[in-house]
Amino acid sequence: MRKHRIAAIPGDGIGKEVVAAGVEALSALAALDGGFTLEFEHFDWGSDYYKRTGTMMPADGLEQLKPFDAIYFGSVGAPDLPDHITLWGLRLAICQPFDQYANVRPTRILNGIESPLRNAGVGDLDWVIVRENTEGEYAGQGGRSHRGHPEEVATEVAIFTRAGVRRIMRFAFRTAQSRPRKFLTVVTKSNAQRNGLVMWDEIAAEVALEFPDVTWDKMLVDAMTVRMTMKPRSLDTIVATNLHADILSDLAAALAGSMGIAPTANLNPERQFPSMFEPIHGSAFDITGMGIANPIGTFWSGQMMLEHLGEQAAADRLMRAIEKVAADKGLHTPDLGGSARTADVTAGLIAAL
Ligand code: ATP
């Protein structure tokens, strides 16, 4: 029997509700499969933990997480705490030291889900966005001086390293190569960001030579928003910097029908550290505690986690069940225009499994 140890970090807001649903669904799947077990350990880190202890996670938090095979994460953020504390104190405090440099976000319109794009349906939008996840605009370099004075200054320095850009480009070309269309779009802004992004373009062209079977093109990030909206079929695999992909992937999630559906994986492809899987949505305090959070993004993140753990058959089974649930309007939560509750969707998913 194969055994996988998973650290579950529900975090804040609806993160707690959707991770509970995800753990229930994945446990049921493992029991049905019979070939592997998932051993979940729960960590109550996040904003409530911060209010009790003054830190988002304990000082030895990373040491505690290191032995796990994967991390199943909910969301982080609280209305009464600044975002930079909650984000840097937990999510980024895990992603960066664990070198989860490839953030992967599949986007598809699932059967039964309505896209805000007129006439767009299943198959019109089938993308994988690869986001550089450790440097770029979110490297954390910069500072503030003369606080509160009229001459106050703040800098936010984007960092692009040759090694960092090369490894994300290689990962993106490999991802494109593994998909039927073998087509990659490199998002850039080298017309205005004329140092880091010019190097980004140069390295993309160098790495492309290693992948002669992959076709690729280049898009300025502003024009990319237009192409995603007007010509969604013209895209397949997409690679972008930390900031650009952050924005583009929210657009992608909205175009696919709801923030509640989209999953993401923060991968350390070399497997020196555990990788982390989470829905892309935030804590959504407007609906916290109401029992109506859409758990599909968390189920889909669980599917990506199973793939990463080598449980492809179970991952495929879970994806078919997700598609079945999405297609059933009676199991749509209010964000999809229905009146189902998180618990209904979870029960529906387990029945579909
Ligand atoms: P962040 O933590 O990133 O600041 P947020 O808490 O403001 O995010 P988002 O994730 O950006 O919330 O989502 C925006 C809105 O979309 C939420 O306020 C909520 O109404 C809705 N939403 C997001 N995720 C879900 C979900 N899983 N189920 C139902 N509604 C959702």
Domain count, the chain: 2
Q: Hey, is 159 helix, strand or coil? A: strand
For residue 2, the CA-to-ligand 1 centroid distance in Å is: 35
User: How far is 262 from 252, CA to CA, in rounded Å?
Assistant: 9
Are both 337 and 281 inside the same structural domain? Answer: yes
As given in the structure block, the two tokens for residue 131 are: 């986001």
* Cβ 164 vs Cβ 101: under 8 Å: yes
Structural domain range at position 134: 126-255
pLDDT at 123: 83
User: How far is 227 from 222, CA to CA, in rounded Å?
Assistant: 9
**Unique residue bearing structure tokens 């029992």:** 291
What are phi and psi for residue 173, nearest 5 degrees?
Answer: -65, -40
- Bridge partners, residue 135, by sequence: none
For residue 251, the CA-to-ligand 1 centroid distance in Å is: 13
Among the three residues 237, 255, 273, which one is the final residue of a domain in this structure?
255
Among the three residues 255, 271, 299, which one is the final residue of a domain in this structure?
255
**Does the annotation mark 12 as catalytic?**
no
Q: Which of 124, 201, 250, 328 is catalytic?
A: 250
Per-residue pLDDT tens for 276-317?
Answer: 999 999 999 999 999 999 999 999 999 999 999 999 999 999
For residue 181, is it within any domain? yes
For residue 113, is it within any domain? no
Q: Hey, is 203 helix, strand or coil? A: helix
Q: What is the percent of the chain where pLDDT is above 70? A: 100
For residue 211, is it within any domain? yes
Are both 3 and 88 inside the same structural domain? Answer: yes
pLDDT at 92: 87
Are both 235 and 282 inside the same structural domain? Answer: no
Q: Which of 189, 236, 324, 344 is catalytic?
A: 189
For residue 34, is it within any domain? yes
Name which of 85-94, 132-141, 236-245, 328-337 the model is least confident about.
85-94
For residue 174, is it within any domain? yes
For residue 271, is it within any domain? yes
Are both 201 and 316 inside the same structural domain? Answer: no
Are both 150 and 48 inside the same structural domain? Answer: no
For residue 168, is it within any domain? yes
pLDDT at 191: 94
User: How far is 215 from 208, CA to CA, in rounded Å?
Assistant: 8
Are both 80 and 137 inside the same structural domain? Answer: no
Q: In the predicted model, what is the mean pLDDT of the chain?
A: 96
Are both 67 and 93 inside the same structural domain? Answer: yes
> What CATH number is attached to the domain comprising 17?
3.40.718.10
| pLDDT of 28 higher than 90 | yes
Among the three residues 232, 255, 278, which one is the final residue of a domain in this structure?
255
Q: Which of 138, 236, 324, 335 is catalytic?
A: 138
Q: How many CB atoms lie within 10 A of CB 117?
A: 18
pTM here is 0.94
What's the pLDDT band for 126 if we cut at 50, 70, 90?
very high
pLDDT at 159: 97
Which atom of ligand 1 is least distant from the CA of 296? 27
pLDDT at 37: 97
